[in-house]
Every structure is written in structure tokens, then in C-alpha cells.
Amino acid sequence: MSLLSEHAATLFGLLVGFLVGLTGVGGGSLMTPFLMTAVGVPAPTAIGTDMIYATVTKLTGSLQHYRQRSVNLEVALFLGMGSIPASLLGVQTLEWIEGSFDPGRVREIMVTVIAATLVLVGSSLVFRVFMPENWRLRKDGKVWDGKGPMSRRRRAYTVLFGAFGGYLVGLTSIGSGSVMAIILLLLYPLSPAVIVGTDITHATVLSLVTGLSHMAHGNVDFSLVGALLVGGIPGVIVGSVAARWLPGRPLRLILALTLIFVGARMLLG
């Protein structure tokens, strides 16, 4: 990696870390397209590198939320039962694509897949901003209170939707925060703090397992990870502090529209 690329990666790591600290979402959605288009990293390496970067940046936040008791471990567990195996399947799908096509074709396929995922994630974030409070999965006309154990039906939905999000993460590195947050908002009447805490705790474990799988396949550039973390760690800290004063909802909407725009531009070539 050239010195210019290293500086660009550090600055972008700072920006992404700041946005993650400020809004809680957007890490993989921004990082992987940047590594592919601006730095010129091959898609598998961009995805694997982002997974390791995401693990480190999210670990601190998940530990803090656990100390604050703002993590629902049962929800995180059943999400992981679906997402972790599915993410490994996503990694294997990526390896199959890489082994079946020439590098140029692999890039075309992954640009299309990542672009479509960006549009999906951006749209889900728009829905999250405007989602009515009463949009919850119901049973017998009642909403689970988030305190007692989950019903079998809710557990099954959690595993199923977790698998959907996990597969996207393994294949593209996108969605560990944004897609999972939408799943939590739809299924559980949890407080905002617990939604965020459960989401980031689950995302930390998911990113770690997926990242290790990418490492085993040689898809991680550790020098690039280091450059990203030099900017990303202070960025998360500054963003978390700024979140106390800056309005989160308009910023999430701007981020969502940006992801839709970037994804649409990638799809249109």
C-alpha cells in the first residue's frame, strides 16, 4: 500500500469512525465501497479487511453497553444462532465467486451485489427514521414486553432474520449494524439504548467470526487495517461525544440517502 493510500485510509477511517460513533450505523456500508473504489483493493480483501476493522471498533462500544446493562443477551444469542452460520456461508459464496471467475468479472459481480446491498441498507435506514412506534411483531394481539423469555415463534423469527443479515455480512461486510438494527426495531419493544447495545454486541461477535473466516482465506490486509484503526478509534470516540449535542435522526436520514445514492451510482456504472 502506497503512502498516499495509507493516509487516505487513515482519514477515511477517522470519518467512518466518527459517523459510527455519531449515528451507530454506516461502518461497513461506507468502508467496503471506499476500499474497492478509492484504494483499489480487490473485493474479497476489502470485505475481509473491513470485518477486522469493524470488530476492533465495535468491541469497545459493546463492552461499555454491557457494563451499562443495555444488552439483551437472549436476543443477541438467537440472532447469532442464525447470523453466524449464515455469515460463514456468505464467505464461502464469495470464495466460490472468486474461484469461478476472472478478477475483472469478480469485481463486476461484487460491485453489483454491494451496490444493491447499499440501496437495501439505505432504504432500511429511511424506514428506521420514519418507522411508527407500533410496528412490532405481535402475537395474540399483544406485544412482548422485552423482559421475560421470548416465545418460540419470536425465537424462530429472530434466527431466520439473523441468518438473512448474517449472509449479507459474510458476502459484503455490509449490514451488521444497519440491517440488524431494523430487525431489532421490528421484532422487539426494547428501549433505544438496549436496541443499540444488543445490536453492537451481536455485531462485534458476528464481525469477529466472519473476520476470522476471511483471515483463513487470506482476505485481510493487516497494514490497511492498522491505517484504518489509527483514524477509526479516535473517530468513534469523538463521534460518541458529539452525539450528545448533534441531532441523530436528521444525520441518519442524510446517511441513508447517501448510501442509496452511492449504491445507485454503482449500479448504473
End-to-end CA distance of the chain: 26
**What residues contact residue 255 under an 8 Å CB cut-off, 6+ apart?**
19, 23, 25, 26, 125
What per-residue confidence (pLDDT) applies to 120?
85
Q: What is the C-alpha separation between 160 and 153, in angstroms, rounded?
A: 11
A 10 A CB-CB count for 55 gives 22
pLDDT recorded at residue 141: 45
Q: Cβ atoms within 10 A of the Cβ of 238, count? A: 15
Neighbour-count burial for 142-157, b at 16+ CB within 10 Å, e otherwise: eebeeeeebeeebbeb
pLDDT at residue 139, as a whole number: 46
Q: What is the DSSP-derived secondary structure letter of residue 149?
A: P
Contacts of 262 (CB under 8 A, 6+ apart): 33, 115, 118
- For residue 147, the model assigns a pLDDT of 65
pTM: 0.81
pLDDT at 267: 85
CA 178 – CA 207 distance, rounded (Å): 13
d(CA 230, CA 1): 15
Q: What is the pLDDT of residue 253?
A: 80
- Characterise 246 by phi-psi region: left (phi > 0), alpha (psi -120 to 50), beta (else): beta
**Dist CA 185 CA 152 (whole Å):** 18
φ/ψ (deg, to 5) at 139: -145, 125
* pLDDT given at position 140: 43
pLDDT tens for the chain, 269 residues: list them. Answer: 555 567 888 898 888 888 777 766 667 778 888 888 878 889 899 999 999 988 888 887 777 777 777 788 889 999 999 999 999 999 999 999 999 999 889 989 998 998 898 888 888 778 777 765 555 544 444 555 566 788 888 889 889 989 998 999 999 988 776 677 777 777 777 776 777 788 888 888 999 999 999 999 999 999 999 999 999 888 878 877 776 677 767 777 877 788 888 888 888 86
- Please give the pLDDT value at position 145: 52
What are the tens digits of pLDDT across the range 47-68? 999 999 888 888 877 777 777 7
Q: Looking at residue 101, what is its pLDDT?
A: 92
- Per-residue pLDDT of 163-198, as tens digits, reads 998 999 999 988 776 677 777 777 777 776 777 788
Which residues neighbour 193 within 8 Å (Cβ) at sequence distance 6 or greater?
65, 68, 70
Cell of 117: 446491498
Q: Where are the domains of the chain?
A: 3-268
